[in-house]
């Protein structure tokens, strides 16, 4: 019996050590569980994110306020740049849109989301345990919605099914836009992502900056105006909603694809409009300490950073009063000022 007590003591000691060690293991959020519960620090804030697939900023200059009055309104009344950048690795649709909602680069070996393909493929998945803007918003008890015009976005639904409250994939803009506009008016979700793709469709058929392409940009502007009409008609919503508008890539004039890494393809707009954005301000002037206008260059992820479409996710969460996406690398410090 005298030998039994020391053995029991050693056993109990080892169990205690093991329990303490397991509870002390760091999680991905560093807050005691893999996904720590979040609470928004701002009350009654909402974000509408709009991506216009294939929008070359030169189209806005060419068409002017006369033919694109709604996007010019966002620029005039908000904070913006027409010289933001796509992901460094690729300027194609699915990788860049996934970057928007994960605030991550593409290359999985460098900690990115890993989406390198641009077609619907149910056998391929986003990098394991990759979180998104929807993940963080949902964990905070906020409502989320996604409206997309390309079926390949089913990748998001598969990956973050529990974090996206409403997922609507409709190829026909004439059906999708009214549904998204109605949802904004009736449900007023905390976070809504809308994908519009008419310029991309026209660019692939007729070439970037063609008359047909410019008509598609003009029509996309009118669709943006439908969302703004909802905001204008509801003073309460106008006090709560910020709009972020960007693109996944541009479109080189006269060319029917956008994979080439040239200025016209990797240059995109990034516009923030709403109660939290300064009227008529330039994002690079507002963020001279943290961001650098890249001119016509294509900077990588080292050194001075340009505003990228991948800033969307963490900026949206910042506007909602939430911390960054735990697995993100772009804009994780949430220092992108819009006022």
Q: What is the pLDDT of residue 327?
A: 97
pLDDT 10s digits, 10-57 = 444 444 434 334 344 434 344 333 344 556 666 689 999 999 999 999
CA pair distance 199, 25, nearest whole angstrom: 49
| CA distance linking residue 117 with residue 153, whole number of Å | 12
> pTM for the complete prediction?
0.89
The span from the CA of 37 to the CA of 247, in Å, is 31
Residues 6 or more apart whose CB falls under 8 angstroms from that of 164 comprise 134, 138, 144, 145, 146, 156, 157
Are 116 and 88 contacting, i.e. CB atoms less than 8 angstroms apart? no
Low-confidence ranges of the chain (pLDDT < 50): 1-36
Measured CA to CA, the distance from residue 280 to residue 224 in angstroms comes to 18
**CA 292, CA 307: separation in Å to the nearest integer?**
8
The runs of H, that is alpha helices, within the chain are 4-24, 57-67, 69-77, 93-102, 133-139, 154-159, 173-186, 198-206, 211-233, 235-238, 263-266, 283-286, 311-319
Distance CA 22, CA 35 (A): 16
CA-CA distance, 177 to 325, in Å (whole number)?
A: 28
Residue 27's pLDDT is 45
For residue 123, which of 86, 156, 155, 162 has the smallest C-alpha distance? 155
Distance between CA atoms of residues 227 and 232, nearest Å = 9
Q: Count CA atoms within 13 Å of residue 72 on its CB side.
A: 14
The two structure tokens encoding residue 43 = 């009350």
| Neighbour-count burial of 316, counting CB atoms closer than 10 A to its CB (0-12 exposed, 13-18 middle, 19+ buried) | buried
**Nearest alpha carbon to residue 51 among 191, 154, 193:** 193
The mean predicted confidence, pLDDT, of the chain is 91
pLDDT in tens, 130-146: 999 999 999 999 999 99
d(CA 126, CA 114): 6
The architecture that CATH gives domain 37-319 is 3-Layer(aba) Sandwich (3.40)
pLDDT given for residue 4 in this prediction:
38
User: Pairing relation of β-strands 79-85 and 241-246?
Assistant: unpaired
3-state SS assignment for residue 133: helix
Cα(184)–Cα(231) distance, rounded to whole angstroms? 9
The pair of three-digit structure tokens given for residue 98, joined into one six-digit string: 């996934």
Percent of the chain topping pLDDT 90 = 86
User: pLDDT value at position 19?
Assistant: 39
What is residue 31's predicted lDDT score, i.e. its pLDDT?
39
Please tell me the predicted confidence (pLDDT) of residue 80: 98
Question: Which is nearest to 277 in space by CA: 314, 236, 242?
Answer: 242
């Amino acid at each position: 019996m005298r030998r039994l007590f020391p053995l029991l003591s050693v056993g109990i000691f080892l169990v205690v050590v093991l329990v303490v060690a397991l509870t002390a293991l760091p999680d991905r959020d560093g807050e005691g569980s893999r996904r720590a519960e979040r609470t928004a620090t701002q009350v009654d804030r909402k974000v509408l994110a709009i991506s216009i697939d294939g929008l070359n900023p030169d189209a806005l200059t060419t068409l002017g306020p006369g033919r694109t009055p709604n996007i010019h309104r966002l620029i005039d009344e908000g904070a913006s740049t027409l010289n933001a950048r796509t992901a460094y690795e690729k300027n194609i649709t699915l990788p860049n849109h996934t970057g928007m909602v994960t605030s991550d680069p593409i290359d999985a070996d460098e900690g990115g989301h890993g989406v390198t393909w641009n077609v619907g493929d149910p056998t391929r998945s986003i990098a394991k345990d990759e979180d998104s803007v929807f993940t963080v918003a949902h964990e905070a008890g906020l409502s989320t919605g996604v409206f997309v015009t390309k079926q390949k976005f089913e990748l998001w639904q598969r990956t973050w099914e529990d974090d996206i409250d409403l997922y609507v994939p409709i190829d026909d803009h004439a059906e999708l836009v009214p549904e998204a506009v109605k949802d904004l008016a009736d449900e007023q979700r905390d976070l809504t992502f809308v994908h519009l793709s008419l310029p991309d469709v026209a660019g692939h058929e007729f070439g970037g900056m063609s008359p047909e392409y410019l008509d598609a940009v003009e029509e996309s502007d009118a669709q943006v105006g439908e969302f703004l009409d909802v905001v204008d008609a509801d003073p309460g919503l106008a006090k709560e909603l910020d709009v972020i508008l960007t693109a996944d890539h541009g479109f080189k004039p006269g060319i029917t694809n956008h994979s080439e890494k040239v200025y016209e393809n990797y240059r995109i707009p990034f516009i923030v409009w709403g109660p939290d954005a300064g009227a008529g301000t330039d994002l690079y002037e507002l963020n001279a300490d943290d961001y650098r206008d890249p001119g016509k260059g294509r900077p990588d992820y080292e050194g001075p950073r340009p505003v990228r479409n991948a800033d969307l996710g963490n900026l949206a969460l910042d506007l909602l009063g939430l911390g960054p996406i735990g697995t993100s690398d772009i804009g994780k410090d949430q220092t992108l000022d819009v006022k």
